[in-house]
A = this chain, B = another copy of it.
Amino acid sequence: MPELRKDPVTGRWVIIAVERAKRPDDFKFEAPQKKMSMCPFCGGNEHTTPPEITALRNGDSARDKAGWRVRVVPNKFPALMVEGELEKRGEGMYDVINGIGAHEVIIETPQHELSITALSDENVREVLWVYKDRLVDLRKDKRLVYGLLFKNVGERAGASLEHTHSQLIVTPIVPLRVKTEMNRCAEYYDFRGRCLFCDMIKQEISNGVRVVMEEKNFVAFEPFAARFPFETWILPKRHISHYEATEDWLLGELGYVIKTTLKKIETAISHPPYNYLVHTSPFNEQAVDYYHWHFEIIPRITRVAGFEWGTGFYINAVPPESAAQYLREIRL
């Protein structure tokens, strides 16, 4: 008998469809090959991107030249633009805002690597530090209220360049999905006086069946109502509402947990396309007791079809307990 599970954070339901059960071997992907001959993200090609916003650089290397370790540039085809006044208007019954915001690319290494798992631990730590740094900088802009950090890997997950990179889109409104999560978490807090994510972390660690890995300060687990096979969340065990409020000394361990978890996923299903994204509190909220930042890793190995589009309801043929066990047992 299949099972309907409700995600307590969003309220969405997922069908864990054991009758359609699949094993990790059912998802086969070709290990990605380096294809690109001229890559605008490679060291030495800095002139092919828009001028850099910031970079972690060696010694006295110059802006927009080689010698960087992590580099941030505006997206060449930005979804939103940073110049201009924020204007809100009606169009009959509809609401419109002009496209003010930011759209940045975080190039994680000057080497032509296809995966963040190929980077050194220190390199990954620096990428995570740059994430913080960009949020801290952009939240000063009072027109902007939300920053979404994300990563697209593989063509099927929406990546157009193979060189490992992340993106940051900063918007003038709080996106609906985030608002829904925050509202539900606030209600939970009102009702119980505790953070929903803190409760979830406690239950997951004590129960253990969905845990992928646990370190001193971070835990990775498959969510109870996972939408997708091998969907994995990574959270700080201690309550922190904003990603950018995470202390620097935690970033090394966070990097280790992200890299190890992704390596396990890459091993389990041979380099799947995936997205990851950071859900964090809006800029216009101070530290809050009811929301807890977290990473969501979403392997894009199954197709989203009409039913999912129509309902926001997902069908997942791999129970998260099986996926977690599989990932736990992988020795790297």
Residues of chain B within 8 A of A155, CB atoms compared: 303
Q: In the complex, are the beta carbons of B167 and A307 less than 8 A apart?
A: yes
Beta-carbon contacts under 8 Å, A128-153 to B = 146, 148, 150-152
CB contact between A157 and one of B6, B156, B306 (< 8 Å): that residue: B306
1/0 per residue, CB under 8 A from B, across A221-236: the answer is: 0001100000000000
- Considering the chains assembled together, what is the distance between the CA atoms of A151 and B307 in angstroms? 8
Q: In the complex, are the beta carbons of B17 and A276 less than 8 A apart?
A: no
- Considering the chains assembled together, what is the distance between the CA atoms of A139 and B3 in angstroms? 21
CB contact between A207 and one of B3, B92, B169, B313 (< 8 Å): that residue: B92
Beta-carbon contacts under 8 Å, A1-58 to B = 1-6, 8, 10-13, 15-17, 19-20
This chain: how many copies in the complex? 2
Q: In the complex, are the beta carbons of B306 and A94 less than 8 A apart?
A: no
Residues of chain B within 8 A of A157, CB atoms compared: 303, 305-306
Does A332 touch B at the CB level, under 8 Å? Answer: no
Does A164 touch B at the CB level, under 8 Å? Answer: no
Does A118 touch B at the CB level, under 8 Å? Answer: no
Does A98 touch B at the CB level, under 8 Å? Answer: yes
Q: In the complex, are the beta carbons of A98 and B152 less than 8 A apart?
A: no
Q: Considering only CB atoms, which chain B residue lies closest to A274 in the complex?
A: B306
- Considering the chains assembled together, what is the distance between the CA atoms of A81 and B2 in angstroms? 7
- Considering the chains assembled together, what is the distance between the CA atoms of A13 and B99 in angstroms? 11
1/0 per residue, CB under 8 A from B, across A169-185: the answer is: 10111011110100000
Stretch at the interface among A60-68, A72-80, A105-113, A245-253: A72-80
Does A298 touch B at the CB level, under 8 Å? Answer: yes
Beta-carbon contacts under 8 Å, A186-213 to B = 196, 199-200, 203, 207
CB contact between A1 and one of B94, B99, B167 (< 8 Å): that residue: B99
Q: In the complex, are the beta carbons of A79 and B175 less than 8 A apart?
A: no
Q: In the complex, are the beta carbons of A176 and B13 less than 8 A apart?
A: yes
Q: In the complex, are the beta carbons of A305 and B1 less than 8 A apart?
A: no
- Considering the chains assembled together, what is the distance between the CA atoms of A95 and B14 in angstroms? 11
- Considering the chains assembled together, what is the distance between the CA atoms of A199 and B93 in angstroms? 8
Q: In the complex, are the beta carbons of A93 and B307 less than 8 A apart?
A: no
Beta-carbon contacts under 8 Å, A83-102 to B = 84, 91-99
Does A311 touch B at the CB level, under 8 Å? Answer: yes
| Extra A-B contacts (16), CB below 8 Å, given A151-B306, A167-B306 | A1-B81, A2-B81, A10-B176, A11-B176, A19-B77, A19-B78, A20-B79, A93-B203, A148-B306, A148-B307, A150-B305, A150-B310, A177-B310, A275-B310, A277-B306, A296-B310
Task: Enumerate chain A interface residues (CB-CB to B < 8 A).
Answer: 1-6, 8, 10-13, 15-17, 19-20, 77-81, 84, 91-99, 146, 148, 150-152, 155-159, 167, 169, 171-173, 175-178, 180, 196, 199-200, 203, 207, 224-225, 275-279, 296, 298, 303-307, 309-313, 315
